[in-house]
Copies of this chain bind each other. A is one copy, B any other.
Amino acid sequence: MSAPAGVSGGLTRFRIDLSYDGTDFAGWAKQPNLRTVQGELLRALTEILGKSSEDFYMRVGGRTDAGVHADHQVCHIDLSDAQLKRIGRNPLSPSRINSLLPTDISVLAVQLAKPGFDARFSAIGRSYVYAIADSECAPNPKWVRYTLTHPRLLSVEKMNSAAKKLIGLKDFGAFCKPREGATTIRELKKLTVKREKDGRILVFVSADAFCHNMVRALVGALMAAGEGKLSPTELAKLQQAAKRTSAFKVVGPQGLSLSEIRYPAASQLAKQAEKARNIRSSEEISV
């Protein structure tokens, strides 16, 4: 295997796919004295591979905030030859890592990364789903941990009408926590709303990348539209003003799940990674 882009010689990159229930985590990113997904994963990997002062050079495709779930998250690690030897005869399989993880994290797949693959910089898109139980829908205890309960009725039709105004390459400053020097321009590829058979409303969101709290602000805006408090035209104007507003709320994390990180074909992985590094520090902020 040729050395992966962005990794110094002698390191071998592995791609790790995983899912987690974010309820009891203070988000993805490792933090001292807090229970985080990355912290738990690093602890399990350290048990197999020994201590790594550089955290195995782990990078993640979609960093998630406290309480946000992931049906499908992707990260990578870079291992030295000495660490590779410690894997021993048993492969670095999902079941081996899962046996060392709590039940609210599950590794789905571990594989040698393709040349040029970078979990964060090779990604070309992220998709999220947000689940809401409005007054039409009796809350089900089996999914209530993954769903926002809303005490009033929401019109899916009105939510979809509003959503159409936001699709495209736009400045999402009205939906982002401002960060100095960072662009708030993103390409929103998908924003659709559907009522499931079980009564829940699901909001599907895809973009090249998201700025901090953007998905939860978009959902808050659609909910205001769904209650008739905000017309599609008013929402379009707020987007164009590109300034934070009190016309809608940033909704809670419990309804939000990362559902997919998209990567290009193998031949484009390195090229995409280089492009993303140069354009902006893609998805370095929590969603």
* Interface residues in chain A, defined as those with a beta carbon under 8 Å from any beta carbon in chain B: 19-21, 69, 71, 94-95, 98, 103-109, 135, 138-142, 144-146, 149, 151
Contacts and interface: CB of A to CB of B under 8 A. Distances in A.
Given A19-B140, A103-B139, A103-B141, 4 more contacts: A103-B144, A104-B141, A106-B139, A109-B138
Given A95-B135, A135-B95, A19 B141 contact: yes
B138 A108 contact: yes
A103 B139 CA distance: 8
B95 A141 contact: no
Contacts of A141: 19-21, 69, 103-106
What is the count of identical protomers in the complex? 2
Contacts of A135: 95
A104 B23 CA distance: 14
B21 A142 contact: yes
Given A95-B135, A135-B95, A142 B107 contact: no
Nearest to A151: B95
B138 A107 contact: yes
A145 B146 CA distance: 13
Nearest to A105: B141
Contacts of A142: 19, 21, 69, 71, 146
A160 to B, nearest CB: 26
A108 B137 CA distance: 9
| Residue with the greatest number of chain B CB neighbours at <10 A, chosen from A105, A141, A144, A149 | A141
Nearest to A147: B103
A120 to B, nearest CB: 22
A35 B146 CA distance: 23
Contact of A94 (B20, B21, B138, B146): B138
Contacts of A98: 138-139
14 contacts: A19-B140, A19-B141, A21-B141, A94-B138, A98-B138, A103-B144, A104-B141, A106-B138, A106-B140, A106-B141, A106-B144, A107-B138, A109-B138, A142-B146
A40 to B, nearest CB: 11
A94 B138 CA distance: 8
Contacts of A20: 141
Contacts of A145: 103
Contact of A144 (B69, B104, B151): B104
Contacts of A107: 138
Contacts of A139: 98, 103, 106
Nearest to A133: B106
